């Protein structure tokens, strides 16, 4: 796989060494068991796969390339490059400005842009409407287009579904940049609808099997269906694609459930005429990180820590997985570890920061399960490990780790 040129401060001595060792031992990535670093009083159970994925490293490399190649020019990102505060703050420190926030709200009016400006498309991609605005201004949107190739794969699959007269069901968060970008493309190829979760799939099923009046469809799915969507016509032939950072298991659950609904309505022998096979749209990196987190959870631990941006979808899903087994603390970096007794962390359910005291158990040996999202630099994971060792008053050297 391609090696990307990203700033050295994104890498780390501990995590880079761990990943290199695992890659040598398991080049085909068949082993999802975690790595254990034992420091006596504290041991870390580290997920087999975590941190920057292909799409994120590609985006970061091209962003810094744009900075280096365009001295004196105004450089803009359509929105956050990825959902990690450290990465975005560093880009801003290097002169890049964000045109929109993550919800699509305008920070800088497109009218102020000129053909001499540089605009980067983030890893999540962009809507066709925004691309048209930028192109009409004479801005080259392809030179620094950092859209993840796995996101583009979903777009291509959506196009094929539309061409074969399938309605495109998108499993995603309807206000997420990637889902907005996918929806803008799928809508021009065929009827499209966004489902957030299995509960919304169950609501949709009642329209598929005729158990709910179609007049209420537009209220139940307000803002999430394409123009001229007709539930009486467009729910007889469907295919499911996804926002690549969603839980792969949830996408599969939705697909399997809707398939069973279509079988009940049309029969097993006719299912191929009514339900497309779209397993090829799941992102390998999302799958690997989630599978590795499940592998990590096969071992016992006192607490779990997930590191990443609080608005990161893929990181949030790792928290969801881990909290089924451990007390889990979702932190953006080492600064959230106040002391050996207090941690500041993000609650994914209340969507608020909170502080927890005595988050580490008072015992002779503590075991911590730890992972990070696809947009989290290894250097942050490294600093979190160092900070925990610091508050536990454990002094180490690299030789202590890898001897």
Q: What residues are labeled active site?
A: 178
Answer for the pair 249, 256: CB distance below 8 angstroms, yes or no. Answer: no
Burial class (CB in 10 A: 0-12, 13-18, 19+), 314: buried
- For 344-377, b/e burial (b = at least 16 CB within 10 A) is bbbebeeeeeeebeebbeeeeebbbbbbbbbbbb
CA dihedral 9, 10, 16, 18 (to 10 degrees): 120
Which of 12, 3, 95, 8 shows the shortest CA–CA distance to 334?
12
Residue 376 to residue 98: CA distance in whole angstroms: 19
Q: In angstroms, rounded to a whole number, what is the distance separating the alpha carbons of residues 36 and 27?
A: 19
Helices H / strands E in the chain, number of each: 13, 13
Rounded CA gap, 117 and 95, in Å?
A: 13
Rounded CA separation 285/287 (Å): 5
User: CA-to-CA distance for 91 and 64, rounded, in angstroms?
Assistant: 8
Q: At what angle do helices 149-163 and 177-189 cross, to 10 degrees?
A: 30
Q: Is residue 182 classed as helix, strand or coil in its secondary structure?
A: helix
- CA dist 141 → 99, 116, 336 (Å): 14, 12, 37
Helix locations, 171-247, DSSP H: 177-189, 198-208, 217-220
């Amino acid at each position: 796989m391609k090696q990307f040129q990203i700033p050295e401060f994104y890498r780390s001595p501990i995590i880079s060494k761990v990943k290199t060792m695992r890659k040598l031992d398991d080049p085909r990535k068949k082993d999802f068991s975690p790595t254990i670093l034992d420091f006596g009083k504290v041991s870390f159970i580290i997920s087999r796969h975590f941190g920057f994925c292909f799409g994120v490293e590609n985006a970061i490399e091209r962003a810094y390339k744009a900075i280096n190649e365009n001295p004196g020019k105004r450089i803009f990102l359509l929105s956050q490059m990825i959902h990690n505060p450290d990465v975005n703050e560093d880009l801003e420190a290097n002169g890049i400005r964000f045109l929109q926030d993550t919800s699509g709200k305008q920070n800088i009016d497109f009218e102020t842009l000129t053909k001499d400006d540089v605009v980067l498309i983030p890893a999540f991609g962009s809507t066709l409407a925004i691309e048209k605005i930028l192109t009409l201004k004479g801005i080259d949107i392809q030179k620094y287009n950092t859209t993840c190739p796995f996101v583009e794969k979903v777009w291509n699959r959506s196009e094929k579904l539309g061409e074969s007269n399938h309605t495109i069901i998108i499993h995603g968060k309807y206000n997420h940049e990637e889902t907005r970008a996918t929806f803008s493309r799928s809508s021009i190829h065929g009827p499209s609808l966004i489902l957030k979760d299995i509960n919304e799939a169950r609501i949709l099923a009642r329209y598929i099997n005729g158990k709910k009046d179609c007049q209420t469809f537009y209220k139940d799915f307000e803002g999430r269906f394409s123009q001229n969507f007709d539930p009486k016509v467009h729910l007889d032939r469907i295919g499911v694609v996804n926002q690549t950072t969603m839980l792969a298991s949830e996408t599969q659950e939705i697909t399997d459930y809707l398939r069973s609904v279509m079988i009940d309505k049309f029969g097993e022998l006719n299912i191929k005429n009514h339900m497309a096979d779209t397993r090829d749209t799941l992102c390998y990196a999302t799958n690997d990180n989630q599978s590795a987190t499940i592998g990590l959870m096969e071992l016992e631990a006192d607490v779990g820590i997930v590191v990443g941006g609080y608005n990161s979808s893929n990181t949030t899903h790792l928290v969801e997985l881990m909290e089924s087994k451990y007390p889990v603390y979702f932190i953006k970096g080492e600064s959230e570890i106040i002391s050996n007794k207090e941690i500041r962390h993000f609650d994914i359910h209340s969507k608020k920061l909170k502080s927890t005291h005595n988050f580490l158990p008072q015992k002779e040996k503590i075991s911590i399960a730890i992972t990070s999202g696809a947009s989290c630099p290894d250097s942050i994971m490294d600093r979190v490990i160092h900070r925990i060792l610091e508050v536990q008053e454990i002094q180490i050297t690299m030789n202590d780790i890898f001897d």
